[in-house]
Structure 1
Amino acid sequence: MFDWNDLKYFLAVAHHHSTLAAGRALQVNQSTVQRRLAELERRLGRPLVQRHPTGYRLTEFGEALLPYAQSVAQAVAALEQQLESAQLEAVGVIRVTCPEPLVYRITQTTLLDRFHARYPGLRVEFVMSDKYLDLMKGEADVALRSGDTVDNELVGRKIGDSLWAVYASRKYIERCGQPDGIEALGQHDLVGFDETMANHRAAQWLRDVAPHGRVVARNNSVLGLLYSVKAGVGIAPLPTAIADAEPELVRVLGPIPELARIWRILTRADLRHTPRVSAFFDFMIEEIDTLRPIITG
């Protein structure tokens, strides 16, 4: 029906009986006060003030509306005070677990700068791991995680998609060629995860499609796979978000549908609405448009 912000111009004129004094109180120029007040009157369809030689006076309609406008102003002031109190309570460290490559990509943006500007009392501490840390045991407060989550004690929101494809370096392709299909992976040098990451979906997929493939190097992290593929050691499935950003790598297969998963932000149900975690969780949800290219590519 109308812009709530225009009520403060009405209240200022009602209090000061002058658009010039109202502008000074609101730290805007007089013409802004007059324009916004006129717009409010246009929206309401009736005049709120009348100009007299001694200043502005409220119309009968303006007098009737005044206590309601004052109630709105009091409610807004109470809301602002509550928000300020919540920010003051939001202090301490938030431990966020996620894979190492994601930390690098996040820190290349202004995402954390904006968070710290809003919540100067909070500090983000990354706990980097390609394995799932146990939030229920307190190993971290928040997880940025792709894959299946079956823990009913965790709450979360989808923030994007995790896509994987198979990559090789240009030097490897010059030396050995590239597979013309998934069934040809068994004829190439492969880079895979070691036994500590045997349950990772990429490791399981590679075992399924190339059970007799030549695994020439093993790593315990996605970043290790990336470095090995960049060095020309062999080919491997990698997240598109990080591999597509490497100019020396070529996507030779995929994306692979079997490796696609959802990225989520997760935390414990009992932590979700604490000031510290709630501040970070809600901020990241607000920034989904910034997060999606970081995690999906």
Structure 2
Amino acid sequence: MLDWNDLKYLLAVARHQGTAAASRALGVNQSTVQRRLVELERNLGQPLVQRHSTGYRLTSFGEQLLPLAQQVEQAVVALTQHVENFLRDVTGVVRVTCPEPLVYRISNSTLLDRFRSRYPALQVEFVTSDRYLDFAKGEVDIALRSGDTNDNALVGRKVGDSLWAVYASPKYIARRGRPDSVEELERHDWVGFDDTMAQHRAASWLAQVAPKAHFVARNNSVLGLVYSAKAGIGLAALPTALGDAEPDLVRVLGPIPELARIWRVLTTPELRHTPRVAALFDFLVDEVEALRPIITG
């Protein structure tokens, strides 16, 4: 297949009438110019240059390709200029909403350092919340969310999987034992979400499998559940990314298939095309291999 990059060697030889002068203009060695020309001729199936005593000249076929190659060069220059202008315009603040524990994990990775080196004039501001903030009210620009969303006006990309399991502290296990099955959950103490998070899938799941579960504490955030579980007062359903990272917690059941969801990076169609939001959105998608272990564990 044709390597578009090879066209610049054809253009350089045509302009400088020799591979030596072309190599100096391109900042490569002469053998590279000759090799790339040969490769281009092989891919096209036709000779492009002829060597004469006064230097290189284009064949008839090469002359036909020359204006087309110049158009490609002009398009590349225009594209490069467009990207440079885009990067110069990427300034300001991008507000990102996600659960508080995720902010800590992202901030303690090298992800933001790489983003700042690419867009030094763009600031990332986290808005931490376990509830869904409203794009229409201008509360946020980008959301990192797991689970289903009822907002069909948003556009997004999958960046990982959200897995949940049941955890307990060694102190709790020593006092109350550990459940070996879902059927035993109802006989244990629990820490769970309060009424403001009643629609969360973890709350719904526990209400289904253990409707008579005894709650000893309730919180309005996942981080609150982590602290309560570490204190040893009860079991908690937690994301594996958080629970597995806590040395004071033990996974006693799961992952729970019913709680599995996907993580998405989301925004509105309008914001998706603004330079500052597009910069971070595309960066997160490009860095999915680095982002996935942060959000999945």
Scaled by the length of structure 1, what TM-score is found?
Answer: 0.93
For 1:274, the equivalent position in structure 2 comes to: 274
For 1:122, the equivalent position in structure 2 comes to: 122
For 2:240, the equivalent position in structure 1 comes to: 240
- Equivalent position SS for 2:270: coil
For 1:257, the equivalent position in structure 2 comes to: 257
Q: What is the Cα deviation at residue 141 of structure 1?
A: 0.7
Determine whether 1:191 maps to 2:191.
yes
Matched to 2:50, the amino acid is Q
For 2:152, the equivalent position in structure 1 comes to: 152
For 2:178, the equivalent position in structure 1 comes to: 178
Alignment coverage as a number of residue pairs: 297
Q: Structure 1: which 5+ residue stretches go unaligned?
A: none
CA distance in 1, matches of 2:107, 2:240: 18
Deviates more, 1:196-205 or 1:32-41: 196-205
Q: What is the Cα deviation at residue 164 of structure 1?
A: 0.8
1:242-267 CA-partner distances (Å, limit 9, x unpaired):
21222332211111122222221111
Q: What is the Cα deviation at residue 239 of structure 1?
A: 0.4
CA distance in 2, matches of 1:192, 1:156: 29
Deviates more, 1:97-106 or 1:239-248: 239-248
Map 1:36-185 → 2, pairs under 5 A:
36-185=36-185
CA distance in 1, matches of 2:256, 2:196: 23
Matched to 2:195, the amino acid is E
Q: What is the Cα deviation at residue 123 of structure 1?
A: 1.4
CA distance in 2, matches of 1:37, 1:171: 72
CA distance in 2, matches of 1:174, 1:16: 82
CA distance in 1, matches of 2:246, 2:21: 60
Q: Structure 2: which 5+ residue stretches go unaligned?
A: none
Identity %: 72
Matched to 1:94, the amino acid is V
Q: What is the Cα deviation at residue 53 of structure 1?
A: 2.9
Q: Which runs of 4+ in 1 moved over 6 A?
A: none
Matched to 1:75, the amino acid is A
1:176-226 CA-partner distances (Å, limit 9, x unpaired):
210121221222221112233222221232233333322222222111111
CA distance in 1, matches of 2:104, 2:121: 23
Matched to 2:189, the amino acid is D
1:54-110 CA-partner distances (Å, limit 9, x unpaired):
322222221121111111101111111112122222211100000111112222332
Deviates more, 1:256-265 or 1:2-11: 256-265
- Equivalent position SS for 2:265: strand
Deviates more, 1:109-118 or 1:146-155: 109-118
CA distance in 2, matches of 1:207, 1:60: 79
Determine whether 1:29 maps to 2:32.
no
CA distance in 2, matches of 1:149, 1:66: 53
- Equivalent position SS for 2:65: helix
CA distance in 2, matches of 1:214, 1:255: 22
1:105-129 CA-partner distances (Å, limit 9, x unpaired):
2223322222223322211111111
- Equivalent position SS for 1:225: helix
For 2:201, the equivalent position in structure 1 comes to: 201
CA distance in 2, matches of 1:269, 1:74: 31
CA distance in 2, matches of 1:35, 1:249: 61
Matched to 1:267, the amino acid is T
Q: RMSD of the TM alignment (CA)?
A: 1.7
- Equivalent position SS for 2:47: coil
